[in-house]
Amino acid sequence: MTIDTIKRALITGITGQDGSYLAQFLLDQGYRVFGTYQKSAVPNFWRLQYLNILEKVTLICADLTDFPTLIEAVNSCQPQEIYHLAALSPSGTAFEHAVDAGEITGLGVTRLLEAIMKIDPGIKFYQASSIELYGEGRSEPLTENTPFNPVNPYAVAKLYGYWITRIYRQKHGIFACSGILFNHESPLRGLNFVTRKISNSVARISLGLQDELILGNLNAKRDWGYAPEYIRCMWLMLQQDKPDDYIIATNETHTVREFAEKAFETVGLDWQKYIRTDEKLMRPTDVNFLQGDNSKARENLGWQPQVKFNQLVEIMVKNDLDRWQMHESGKTFPWDIQP
């Protein structure tokens, strides 16, 4: 295979859960993979190391608020595809970083699209959208045609990114797609997400390293899928004849309580003996119900999830349990925990 026949992809946010799994997937497809990271941030390459691919990707320093660095990043790798996954991480303190959300999560998309316009309008572009576009007060499965109702600065910034992607597709003819991925989890999920908080805590409790698990809203319902499966959809969107936007979901919901119950069941414990709720962990703009409808992705992309809810929970708990057991035995390995 010559260099001219090797496809090249640029992933922003390559060090995150989705970026790492996507890099692994693209490498398996024969791509040469490049990824951006922010110089001002603390290096966080553990996921790439965990997947044994850190030495197989080319890392490029770039900043979503600095247009020249994005131009340089795209110029240096000349990709056929750009997967834009980087964003300011959503959290309960979204209102404290409202301006940053707009600059990074919102305008960062426009800067990348402008880089494509200047360097090569033929580059295919994937925008990682968010279920937070839909906001609260929903009681039915959400489709690509459901009206948006963002309720925090992060969601508003993501909505801007969604619309600007559509505008560049319609007005400039760029092959640009937005993927609205519902909650997708894995052993590489960050500890600031409730699913990983549960799996990690359950593993520790089962080994006698922790006494209880403190959670917020146990009744919140989410459409939870397995992240490695969702990554393939990003790629599939850019392999179609025409660009379009897609919801990726499992079409079913489960509560945080169900997730915790199954997690404790995986290690043979009664969840009710170890869980305590705290109102301080209740987010004021939390959405109680989110379920997607993947009909369009199923029909156009030929995709549907294979890993079901119970299997997803088991994968996460057993992986965290294995890691804590390795740690207790004195082994060192890439991990996001500093005991």
Q: Which residues are catalytic?
A: 130, 132, 154
Neighbours of 339 (CB within 10 A): 8
Distance of alpha carbon 317 from alpha carbon 15, whole angstroms:
22
Q: What letter does residue 101 receive in the DSSP assignment?
A: I
Q: 275: part of which helix (H) or strand (E)?
A: strand 275-277
In DSSP terms, which residues pair with 213 in a beta bridge? 275
Contact 320, 202 (CB under 8 A): yes
Q: Any residues with CB less than 8 A from the CB of 255 and at least 6 apart, and which?
A: 218, 219, 220, 221, 222
Of the CA atoms within 13 Å of residue 44, those in its CB half-sphere come to 17
Max Cα-Cα span within the chain: 60
At 52, is the secondary structure helix, strand, or coil?
coil
Contact 233, 292 (CB under 8 A): no
